């Protein structure tokens, strides 16, 4: 035990040295953006050396009457103030250095959020035409939301002058994401996450410009979601207080939309579904062999259809996730009536697995969804999958390459680099994970729609989820947002900037862990936030 303490102390000491060295390297970098602290790094940035100050009545104006924009502007003001008291005497300031407001021009009145919605924006601080104002323009309100996030990172509170200031003005930032899908998975089956926690996670995602919350709602351990078509399903929840009503799930979707985030709902079938049978035992192969779902029972598919019918009224994202991973079919072959059904239909267990997945896909298609499935479905019977399938890579390398070569789309979440529950994977590994590895054909590259970091819930709940997600998820967020040629070739080059973003998250009430050490680590001792 004593040796473990010594080695752990040595580990953290080495980690501290790495951070300090990384900061030194970042500070001495010859990069044109070495002074820029924005995370993720925008596509194009220019700046000067002037200083501007936000007036006490800094205001919002727009060519669109948009409640989404108004609310986002007010949230932005709140986070940049950080609860400081702004009591500067503005009569002491040069009028030409004052910013009176932000004018936002949005080209499209359409506020529907969907996969592929334009997220580009252009930000000028100050506006060349109206120097007393910052100017933000975007094709959609959701591009404008990203512009507001960037503007918030240009602002900081001056403790000396008691005012919000913008350094390095004038700024011109032209920006758009590299990938249209930039996701974070949360798991509410292994541990229930209160609504307040889910909303805080959504807020923090918006700070890093992630745009898909993959909600792995149910699994073997619990079924916390109300399904009106089959009201006994949530009998599989841990307790009556650890449940989400249909109205709660609609609130999550609404809350996320106002922050530019889609919600991808998942039911993982046919495996990972033991909890379904608590309310409906006939979904189990038998009382003693309880998953995967009973492939021989028509009621099973009626329940899947009912769930997806209810989903379609709440989860309006283009995609639904049907899981399909880690299916152990032993219960099918060892349960006599299912074994008999398999023989009658001339299926072996692997063919029954294929039958179940493809039938679930058809049900999802009938409700207007395109489908995401975990990669085992592709590995086992990829040519049979609907052409509207997105294959979700998680097991290892080379899968994305094979998927796009087959003409299907792919989301990358390889577990060795982008699984947040792997606490021994440091942020540097998250940063260097490249979704297009060995994919050189431009048409095939476009079939990789993006990537996702996965916060599986076995060891996280409301007490530790934020520090397990951040700052490592931010490293992946830059990989998915920033143009490839703007990404650092060596993670050490961005250590200082990521440390700055981690401290910014802390200032905004997000419990992001230090960069030093592994995931979810605690501070190793006294010191500045920017050096841990």
Active site amino acids: 326
Distance of alpha carbon 459 from alpha carbon 191, whole angstroms: 8
Q: List 451's β-bridge partners, or say none.
A: 182, 412
Q: List 212's β-bridge partners, or say none.
A: 183, 262
Site of tokens 């985030």: 261
Distance of alpha carbon 258 from alpha carbon 96, whole angstroms: 34
Q: Are 79 and 193 in contact (CB under 8 A)?
A: no
Nearest by Cα to 435 from 410, 415, 456: 410
Nearest by Cα to 478 from 42, 7, 27: 42
Q: Are 207 and 505 in contact (CB under 8 A)?
A: yes
Nearest by Cα to 401 from 389, 392, 410: 410
Three-class secondary structure of residue 358 per DSSP: helix
What are the φ/ψ torsions at residue 164 (nearest 5 degrees)? -80, 130
Q: Is 162 left (phi over 0), alpha (psi -120 to 50) or beta?
A: left
Please count the other Cβ atoms lying within 10 Å of the Cβ belonging to residue 254. 11
User: What is the C-alpha R_g of the chain?
Assistant: 25
Q: Are 531 and 26 in contact (CB under 8 A)?
A: no
Q: Report DSSP state, residue 479.
A: H
Beta pairing, strands 181-187 & 171-175 = unpaired
Distance of alpha carbon 501 from alpha carbon 207, whole angstroms: 9
Distance of alpha carbon 371 from alpha carbon 350, whole angstroms: 21
Distance of alpha carbon 173 from alpha carbon 382, whole angstroms: 42
> What's the distance, CA 182 to chain centroid?
6
Three-class secondary structure of residue 118 per DSSP: coil
Q: List 199's β-bridge partners, or say none.
A: none
């Amino acid at each position: 035990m004593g040796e473990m303490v010594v080695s752990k102390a040595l580990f953290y000491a080495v980690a501290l040295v790495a951070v300090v060295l990384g900061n030194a390297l970042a500070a001495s970098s010859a990069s044109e953006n070495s002074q820029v602290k924005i995370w993720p790094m925008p596509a194009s940035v220019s700046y000067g050396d002037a200083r501007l100050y936000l007036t006490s009545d800094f205001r919002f104006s727009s060519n669109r009457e948009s409640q989404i924009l108004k609310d986002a502007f007010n949230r932005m003001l709140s986070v940049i103030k950080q609860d400081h008291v702004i009591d500067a005497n503005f009569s002491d300031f040069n009028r030409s250095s004052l910013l009176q407001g932000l004018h936002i021009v949005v080209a499209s009145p359409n506020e529907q959020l969907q996969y592929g919605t334009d997220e580009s924006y252009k930000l000028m601080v100050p506006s060349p035409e109206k120097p007393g104002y910052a100017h933000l323009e975007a094709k959609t309100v959701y591009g404008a939301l990203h512009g507001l996030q960037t503007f918030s990172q240009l602002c900081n509170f001056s403790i000396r002058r008691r005012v919000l200031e913008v350094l390095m003005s004038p700024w011109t930032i032209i920006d758009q994401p590299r990938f249209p899908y930039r996701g974070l998975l949360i798991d509410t089956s292994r541990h229930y996450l209160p609504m307040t926690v889910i909303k805080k996670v959504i807020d923090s995602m918006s700070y890093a410009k992630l745009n898909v919350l993959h909600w792995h709602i149910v699994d073997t351990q619990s079924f916390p979601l109300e399904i009106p078509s089959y009201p006994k399903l949530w009998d599989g929840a841990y307790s009556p207080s650890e449940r989400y009503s249909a109205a709660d799930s609609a609130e999550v979707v609404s809350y996320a939309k106002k922050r530019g985030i889609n919600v991808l709902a998942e039911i993982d079938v046919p495996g990972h579904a033991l909890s379904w049978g608590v309310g409906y035992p006939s979904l189990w192969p038998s009382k003693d062999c309880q998953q995967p779902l009973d492939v021989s029972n028509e009621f099973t598919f009626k329940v899947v259809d009912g769930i997806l019918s209810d989903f379609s009224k709440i989860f309006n994202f283009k995609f639904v996730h049907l899981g399909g991973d880690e299916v152990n079919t032993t219960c099918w072959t060892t349960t006599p009536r299912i074994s008999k059904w398999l023989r009658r239909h001339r299926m072996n267990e692997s063919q029954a697995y294929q039958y179940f997945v493809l039938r679930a896909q058809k049900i999802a298609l009938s409700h207007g969804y395109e489908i995401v499935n975990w990669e085992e479905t592709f590995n086992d019977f990829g040519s049979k999958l609907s052409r509207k399938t997105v294959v979700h890579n998680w097991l290892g390398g080379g899968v994305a390459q094979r998927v796009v070569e087959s003409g299907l789309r792919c989301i990358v979440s390889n577990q060795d680099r982008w699984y947040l529950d792997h606490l021994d994977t440091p942020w540097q590994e998250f940063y260097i994970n490249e979704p297009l590895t060995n994919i050189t054909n431009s048409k095939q590259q476009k079939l990789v729609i993006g990537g996702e970091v996965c916060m599986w819930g076995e060891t996280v709940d409301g007490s530790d989820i934020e520090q397990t997600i951040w700052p490592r998820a931010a490293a992946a967020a830059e990989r998915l947002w920033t143009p490839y040629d703007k990404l650092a070739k060596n993670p050490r080059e961005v250590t200082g900037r990521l440390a700055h973003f981690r401290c910014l998250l802390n200032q905004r009430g997000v419990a992001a862990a230090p960069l030093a050490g592994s995931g979810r680590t605690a501070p190793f001792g006294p010191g500045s936030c920017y050096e841990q």
